[in-house]
Chain A
Amino acid sequence: MIDIANLDVRFGNNHAVRGVSFRVAPGETFGLVGESGSGKSTVLRAVAGLITDWTGRIAVDGKPLGHKRDRAFFRLVQMVFQDPYGSLHPRQTVDRILSEPLAVHGFADADARILRALEEVALPRAARFRYPHQLSGGQRQRVAIARALIADPRVLLLDEPTSALDVSVQAEVLNLLADLRAARGLTCILVSHNLAVVAHLCGRLAVMQGGRVVEELDEAALRAGRAVHPHTQDLIRLSRDLEEA
């Protein structure tokens, strides 16, 4: 579904992504992990079309992508960001936020779709005419997920979707993402620094360091600690260390 080969991104002198390649099969959830500055979010933003200055090959659903994306691309691919407070327009109601993608793509049944979207992410109907600041952090992230899914995309890009949330809310949002993925057969890329979160949602993952993918492994290998690269081993050790307490 997603095919990335020799992806390179430079910001001035900063060579942020160096020759990254991986494939994600339809219906699969692929994890990208690494520390800050490793380039994991940059890869995701290049796929989403938020970074236009890249070289290499990015293909989604068999079609190679250009640097400018058309409307059809955004029907197919949507993204959820880390901080729902920063990614929702502060002066738009939830209704307006959810209406916009429907207007862009010319949906006629906006009203019914908004009600269905709210129900799907388990938000009360009363939330429809609220502003983001009147909602809790978890509710805001549900709105961001509803917005991403309202035009029925087939690919969902998730950039640290739960790291700004409390652990109790994180559990609810992770369960919600797992349910939606199963119900809609979504293909996802999940960027996170939290190995436990990645192991929970992803079947396979790539570990990034200094702009490169240093290792690709599956969930079972990650859980069993069968990693080859020292950086992956370090990350696993740290994660275990904090979990044990």
Chain B
Amino acid sequence: MSTPILAGEPLVAVRNLHVDFPSATGVTQAVRGVSFSIGREKLGIVGESGSGKSVTGRALMGLLPGSAKVRADVLRFGTTDILHTSEREMRTLRGGRIGLILQDPKYSLNPVMTAGAQIAEALRAHSRIGRREARDAALALLESVQIRDPRRVHDAYPHELSGGMGQRVMIAMMLAPNPELLIADEPTSALDASVQAEILRLIEELVDQRGMALMLISHDLPLVSRFCDRVAVMYAGQVMEELPAADLQRATHAYTRGLLECLPSLDHKRERLATLKRDPAWLAPRA
């Protein structure tokens, strides 16, 4: 059993995380010395494709492929040292104390299991409860993710659900074991703007209600800053800048500024969009 963390200690501590993927043609350094910590708060990790944001989240859950070489001065969840813990202990973390919400429910839900059965499976994997109890708990969870007709959705297969509904089912499944940290990796990129806002608001509410921590991984800087307390901006495997979400418009790093300025805007007409000038200095290892 893990001991409760001391007051004032962050829930997640990452210091100098490196992830390398060796291949036939050389080593790809996906993450190069990333450090951050998460308390009971919402941290956004933003970056373009290939910046290492998803790999960082997966390293925290021990979900990287066997070929990945992970090293860090500190990689800690609660009191668990993720790099040196047993696979057995990792199984209680994964899905138990850390939940992971992925981009597209079409691919991440099991297509041949009903939504209810998948939620019940998550419950039964992490606590000793009977089938009937699990069914009741699954229905209650579907209700908590604001599904109006929990009974119908409980018995539905993923292909019978819309994208937004599927994402709610996935959230319910991840909430089932009462995790302390929720990692959401592009949870709404496959959804319409209106559904996107609903799902993020739901995640925000649940995180606040349950006192969970949230790590929101996304390529969408304005969206993330709206729903998070702090934002870390990643580029080429490193954190370029970390700042309070409310100060985004006052970001100082040229990369963050570049990302904000190249967006087309509904309010301000821009004849030509600014393009990002990638400064080779951003690639240099940071202290």
Do the beta carbons of B266 and A238 come within 8 Å of each other? Answer: no
Kindly provide the distance from the CB of B250 to the nearest chain A CB, expressed in whole angstroms.
Answer: 13
A148 to B192: give the CA distance in the assembly, Å: 28
Contact with B266, one of A166, A178, A193, A199 (Cβ below 8 angstroms): A199
Flag whether B259 is at the interface (Cβ < 8 A).
Answer: yes
The verdict on A100 contacting chain B, using a C-beta distance below 8 Å, is no
Q: Is B275 an interface residue (CB 8 A)?
A: yes
> B1 in the interface, Cβ–Cβ < 8 Å?
no
B266 touches A174 (CB 8 A): no
Contact of B192 among A35, A168, A196 (CB under 8 A): A35
Complex Cα gap A175–B264 (Å)? 11
Whose C-beta in chain B lies nearest to the C-beta of A166? B48
Which residues on A sit within 8 Å (CB–CB) of B269?
A: 199, 223
> With A36-B192, A242-B222 known to touch, is A223 a contact of B267 (CB < 8 Å)?
yes
Which residue of chain A has the shortest Cβ distance to B197 in the bound complex?
Answer: A238
Tell me the complex Cα distance, A137–B219, Å: 14
Give the contact-size bracket for chain A: 20 to 34
List which B250-270 residues lie within 8 A (CB) of chain A.
258-259, 262-267, 269-270
Q: Is B49 an interface residue (CB 8 A)?
A: yes
Provide the B186-206 mask, 1 if CB < 8 A to any CB of A, else 0. Answer: 000000111001000000000
B125 within 8 A of A: no
Chain A positions within 8 Å of B39 at CB level: none
Interface string of B218-235 (1 = CB under 8 A from A): 011111011000000000
A239, B273: Cβ atoms under 8 Å? no
Q: Are B276 and A171 in contact (CB under 8 A)?
A: yes
> B193 to A175, Cβ gap below 8 A?
no
Instruction: For B261, give the chain A residue with the smallest CB separation.
Output: A171
A243–B266 CB distance below 8 A? yes
B202 to chain A, nearest CB (A): 16
Q: Is B272 a contact partner of A178 (Cβ separation < 8 A)? A: yes
Say whether, besides A168-B259, A223-B269, A174 and B192 are in contact (CB < 8 Å).
no
Q: Most B CB atoms within 10 A — which of A35, A167, A235?
A: A167
Q: Is B266 a contact partner of A236 (Cβ separation < 8 A)?
A: yes
Q: Say how far B277's CB is from chain A's closest CB, in angstroms.
A: 10
Q: With A168-B276, A175-B272 as known contacts, state yes or no: A241 contacts B197, CB within 8 Å.
A: yes
Q: Are A166 and B49 in contact (CB under 8 A)?
A: yes
Contact sample, A vs B, 15 pairs, CB 8 Å cutoff: A36-B192, A167-B259, A168-B48, A169-B48, A171-B262, A171-B273, A194-B264, A196-B266, A199-B264, A223-B267, A234-B194, A235-B193, A241-B197, A245-B222, A245-B245
Could you tell me which A residues sit within 8 Å of B by CB distance? 35-36, 137, 166-172, 174-175, 178, 193-197, 199-200, 222-223, 234-236, 238-245
Chain B residues with a Cβ under 8 A of chain A: 48-49, 163, 192-194, 197, 219-223, 225-226, 245, 248, 258-259, 262-267, 269-270, 272-276
Q: Given known contacts A200-B273, A223-B269, A243-B263, what 10 new A-B pairs fall within 8 Å (CB)? A: A36-B163, A168-B48, A171-B275, A193-B192, A195-B266, A196-B264, A199-B264, A222-B266, A238-B194, A240-B267
